[in-house]
Structure 1
Amino acid sequence: MSQPTSNLFDAQSGAESVPRARSPLALAMRRFMRNGAALVSLAVLVLIVLACYVGPLLLGHDPSESDWSAISVAPTLLGGHWFGTDELGRDLLVRTLVGGRVSLQVGLLGTLVAGVIGVAYGACAGYFGGRTDSVMMRIVDMMYAIPYMLIAILMMTLFGRAFYLVVLTISAFSWLDMARVVRGQTLSLRTREFVDAAKAIGVAPSSIVVRHIVPNLVGVVVVYATVMVPGIVLTESVLSFLGLGVQEPMTSWGVLIEDGAQKLEAMPWLLLCPALMLCVTLYCVNFVGDGLRDALDPKDR
């Protein structure tokens, strides 16, 4: 009687020792957590976002309020103006953090709008293929040939520099690369077995694209979106540097950099501080994007 009991116990213990299968998301998270550069960049990025939204409330300075006793003060830890002040006595740290809100919002909203357009356009072109794909991609090629900066200048001149117009202007051409990437992935997905099975049971082509193709593109879209965010933030900064971005009373990192470039010799901190924040943010987003790429598709490493 003891022998069967022992065998049963060994079988149970052996079954319990078999590791549970991990989901693809869990495996991706595990690979991402092992990427030290991506983790540090994500932590720094979270701190920057928190500082932009919470910092101005804690510092107690109004971004448009002038401190007439501290005009054009260099950065110091003693006077309460850690990044210094401008020629009107406005605290540069608070203005940099408030400007970071606008730059980050432009980057996120622009990526969202461009991502939705690019995914829909690229998925339809790749799935339907043939003449439809050829015509749709020729339209993309023609839009690549249009001078983007000229269109941006024209739109800002005609319609003003409102926040939503800045986002729409940047998004109007930012979706082209996303469409190309999604179209290439869709061309390989449309030949998979699950797509053939959906066709066999009579699922409509639009439903196949929405319910079967697009969900399998999430990994690629998320990774490429992390590449689009710094690009859109940098584009907004360039437009603001040229005087085509947001206008007062709103500010952004590009506006602050443009203002600091005009006073570089007299007050170099007006340029260095917002430029440093912009560079650190762009580097962090790029490192996080590299970590997500390696985690979601380890074959690319």
Structure 2
Amino acid sequence: MEEKIKLSADSFQPLPKAESLDNEKIAAPSLTFLQDAWLRLKKNKGAVISLWIIVVMVVIAFGSTPFIDHDSLVKSAPKYANLPAKIPGIDINGFNGKLKVSGQWVDEYKQNHVPSDKYFYLGTDYLGRSLAERIIYGTKISLIVAFVATFFDLTIGVAYGIISGWKGGRVDNVMQRIIEIISSVPNLVIVVLMLLVLKPGMTSIICAIAISSWTTMARMIRAETLSLKSQEYVLAARTLGESPVKIAIKHLVPNLSSIIIIQTMYTIPTAIFFEAFLSFIGIGISSPQTSLGVLLNDGQKNFQFLPYQMWYPAIVLCVLMIAFNLLGDGLRDAFDPKTRR
């Protein structure tokens, strides 16, 4: 027979509350939609790096304006023409004031009798103007054009798309035909038509963007509004007598925020490239004013002998385009949980 062992009450001790475990309970911190999207975005290293690059470039472009002499951006200084980059404390050919001429490195600053305390961090152009200052100011102009395009996307595009999707029927049909007519006219043709009324410059580019840039946003917002307006919370709001404007502000716009943000991130690089292209072919911003497209146009004239005059603005343009596109991809993945891997 097995021996029975009796345990006394002292053999049992209650587990302290701080150490109690509940294996059946699964809990996670409560997060809003934007907080959850931000956590997913932070996991995308490329998007985060791109975000910081954009922030730095925007701060430099807009924050350095008080420190740039605007007269030096347009006035020529022939004695400083075509000088290479010279950075104090760096003795690397190409960044120490030396230029390769006939197979040998020549100190262009000494040959042109440039004062010893005069430096051009990215060199000068064919008129002796500082490339660094012109690139910074040109980046600012390109970003302004991009932000204007974003403004029209967020005002005309969002409002037009919501009205078209909400009204439906004949109103939607007519509004979509108008978009098709606008989209069928190339942007380049619109700019050329603007030149018949306005002078070449930022105004004509902004007018062309105001006419045609918002159509893509309007189509996407309209398609999503068609599906959202049949949701239960929208039907409940309509039943309770909410006006369409309040429903749009309280229910539609918050649920459309992901599409708006993502599309905006793709609108900005498109507008930057559009401005650079127009200025490069000579029907956008023109000299002596500056933009990235103007700098590329000026640099390609001397590219065979002075390639740095084209490389520097081209690098800035490429970095801007890549950063905005990578950030747009990251935001798309962050706001759409279905794309999470």
Shift of 1:144: 1.6
The equivalent residue for 1:30 is 39
2:240 matches 1:201: yes
- TM-score (structure 2 length as normaliser): 0.79
Q: Does residue 1:21 correspond to 2:30, yes or no?
A: yes
Match of 2:55 among 46, 49, 61: 46
Quick check: 1:227–1:289 contact (8 Å CA) kept in 2?
yes
> Structure 1: 5+ residue runs without aligned partners?
none
SS in 2 for 1:63: helix
Is the counterpart of residue 106 in structure 1 residue 145 in structure 2?
Answer: yes
**Structure of higher CA gyration radius:** 2
Deviations 1:240-279 (A, max 9, x none): 1122222455311011112222333343222221111001
Q: Is the 8 A contact 1:56 1:94 kept in 2?
A: no
Kept in 2: contact 1:256–1:271 (CA 8 A) = yes
Matches within 5 A, 1:77-226: 77-79=95-97, 80-226=119-265
Point out the more displaced range, 157-166 or 215-224.
157-166
Deviation at 1:236, TM superposition (A): 0.8
Using CA pairs under 8 Å that are at least 6 residues apart, name the structure with larger relative contact order, 1 or 2. 1
Partner of 2:328: 289
Structure 1 match to 2:101: none
- Which position in structure 1 is the counterpart of 2:292? 253
Deviation, structure 1 residue 169: 1.6
Task: Give yes or no for the alignment of 1:273 onto 2:312.
Answer: yes
The equivalences for 1:49-68 within 5 A come to 49-55=58-64, 62-68=72-78
From the two aligned structures, give the one with the greater helix fraction.
1
Secondary structure, in 3 states, of the residue corresponding to 2:80? coil
Task: Report how many residues are paired.
Answer: 300
Find the counterpart in structure 2 of residue 9 from structure 1.
17
**Cα 1:135–1:20, aligned 2, differ >3 Å: closer, same or farther?**
same
Residue of structure 1 in register with 2:3 after alignment = none
1:162/1:240 CA distance change after superposition, 3 Å: closer
Cα deviations across residues 110-131 of structure 1 (Å, max 9, x unaligned)? 1111331111111111111112
Q: Distance in 2 between matches of 1:12 and 1:197?
A: 44
Structure-1 residue corresponding to 2:100: none
Report the counterpart of residue 74 of structure 1 in structure 2.
84
Aligned to 2:190, what secondary structure does the other structure show? helix
**C-alpha distance in structure 2 between counterparts of 1:67 and 1:273, whole Å:** 20
Return 5+ residue gaps in structure 2 as ranges. Answer: 1-9, 87-94, 98-118
Kindly provide the amino acid, as one letter, of the partner of residue 85 in structure 2: P
8 Å CA contact retained: 2:74, 2:289: no
Task: Give the aligned residue type for 1:282.
Answer: M
Is 2:275 aligned against 1:236?
A: yes
Identity %: 34
The aligned amino acid for 2:291 is: S
CA distance in 2, matches of 1:200, 1:56: 54
Contact 2:204 2:284 (C-alpha < 8 Å) held by counterparts: no
Segment drifting more, 64-73 vs 223-232: 64-73
Change (3 A) 1:12 1:24: farther
